[in-house]
Amino acid sequence: MTVATTGIRTENLGSFAPGLNNRLPPTQLARTLPDRSKATFLSVGENIDLNGRGHMQRRRGTTLALSGASAHSVWGDETEGYCAIGNDLLHLEPTPSGLLPTSVLSGLPEMAPISYARMPVGDVIWSNGHRIGRLRGTTALPLATPRPVVVPTVSAIAGALPAGRYQVAFTELGPLGESGSTPPVALTLPANSGIRITGLGADTVVYMTGANGEVFNATATDSGDIVALTNTGPELRSLLLADVPAGSIVRHYKGSLLVAAGTALLISEPYYYGLFSPSKGYIPFPAPITVVQPCETGVFVCADRTYWLAGGLLDTTPVVVLPYGGLQGSGGEVRTPDGQGTQQAFWLSPRGLVIGTPDGSATNVQENALKFGPARAGATLFREQDGAHHILCARQEPARPIGAAQGSFAVETIVKETDL
């Protein structure tokens, strides 16, 4: 590119492939690329995009799709989207005339950030740190089938059971599958006894052990009476599992739901997205978790530092890959357009955009060229447009002290073109 500088002479600036740089003084932005061609850093770029060859083009304009006070937590994929406006969670459906918003939930805490995760079954799981559930289009559902509302009562009757200690537990069947179990009830019976269960619901499943046994199997009942051992059904898988609580981040990894709750990464039982083991189904970290981003063969977790957890999460040791963490709400993923479809992760750190790959490496692609002020949160968006791939990044400054003249938050936006 040739630009007139003073009206006296012209200067060949070359391409702008290096992107932005606010570390160098304006007089030192020129560079020579490895192929000996000329290039120049940009000190400022507004409403422009850079393509893969370093050429500038004006960014496309925007059209207002939806407005409202206190709008936040926008999420979407190829089929649908969601966002929060005020106290409402809205479903966003693309139509030829624009986005069609439909209220899904109301009464949510205003401005509580929402995290979303598309699950293999098609539902979207959401959490805002106070509540957690699943979304199926415009319908809000619980995360899992609730346990029996009224726990049936158990008493001894005459029968043909051998003497011993028996344990009984209950689950509920529903559209979302089988619920977690109730706490087991134990009875010690003499010989020739039976068990009477009252208060059974139409969809309640009864599990029972044998005499002095520890394994629960589904059992048939005759109008609530068990007078002989018929516990030959499937084994109870949800015994002593707890409901997954709400968290600040939700993600899916290898059949399990991941939830960041404070300093703990909770890991659901495989394909039991609403249940986890409170004794072993979590990994503690030294500081609150701000980013959880799966990447095919492992998961990146940002807390006090950035960690890589490879393979089976409960059978691995976190490995530090960066000496700093990430900004809350900034995680995302993309598959490479090279025909391989390799999943890559990205997020914002205090020092710029980081890209993680399935081998567990995490690379800061902005640190050498850009310096940043403090930020309390961030957001990212992968965009494929006009043959170029960009990750759009927004950083939110820390809240100003009460009484400061400026009542809003300043947002620092940086566009980084990557080779994804």
Provide mean pLDDT across the span 327-352: 86
Q: Are 318 and 308 in contact (CB under 8 A)?
A: yes
Give the start-to-end residue ranges of the domains of the chain: 12-58, 153-226, 300-420
Render pLDDT for 241-289 as a digit per residue (tens, 0 to 9): 999 999 999 999 999 999 999 999 999 999 999 999 999 999 999 999 9
Q: What angle do CA 247, 376, 364 make, to 5 degrees?
A: 95
Q: Bridge partners of 153?
A: 198
Please choose, from the candidates 89, 133, 134, the residue with its C-alpha nearest in 3D space to the C-alpha of residue 108: 89
User: Which tokens is 187 given?
Assistant: 């009875």
CB atoms within 10 A of CB 234: 11
Given phi > 0 = left and psi -120 to 50 = alpha, else beta, which region is 329?
A: left
User: Which tokens is 377 given?
Assistant: 């949160």
Q: With a cut of 80, say whether residue 39 has pLDDT above it.
A: no
Render pLDDT for 131-160 as a digit per residue (tens, 0 to 9): 999 999 999 999 999 999 889 999 999 999
Beta strand spans in 147-184 (E): 153-161, 164-174, 177-178
Render pLDDT for 201-217 as a digit per residue (tens, 0 to 9): 999 999 999 999 999 99
CA–CA separation, 244 and 278 (whole Å): 9
pLDDT of residue 279: 95
Q: How many CA atoms lie within 13 A of 322 on its CB side?
A: 26
Q: How many CA atoms lie within 13 A of 10 on its CB side?
A: 6
State the Rg of the chain over Cα. Answer: 28
pTM comes to: 0.85
Q: Pairing state of beta strands 153-161 and 193-198?
A: antiparallel
Q: Are 114 and 84 in contact (CB under 8 A)?
A: yes
Band of residue 40 on the pLDDT scale cut at 50, 70, 90: confident
Complete edge-to-edge strand list for the sheet that includes strand 388-396: 377-385, 388-396, 411-417
CA–CA separation, 182 and 186 (whole Å): 12
Q: Bridge partners of 235?
A: 217
pLDDT of residue 233: 94
Per-residue b or e along 100-114, where b marks 16 or more CB atoms closer than 10 Å to that residue's CB: ebeebbeebeeebbb
59 or 270, which is more confident: 270
Q: With a cut of 50, say whether residue 403 has pLDDT above it.
A: no
Write the CB contacts of 160 (distance below 8 Å, at least 6 apart in sequence).
192, 194, 227, 228
Render pLDDT for 180-209 as a digit per residue (tens, 0 to 9): 999 999 999 999 999 999 999 999 999 999
pLDDT of residue 52: 64
User: Which tokens is 39 given?
Assistant: 């290039």
Q: With a cut of 70, say whether residue 3 has pLDDT above it.
A: no
pLDDT of residue 2: 46
CB atoms within 10 A of CB 420: 17
Q: Bridge partners of 89?
A: 84, 105
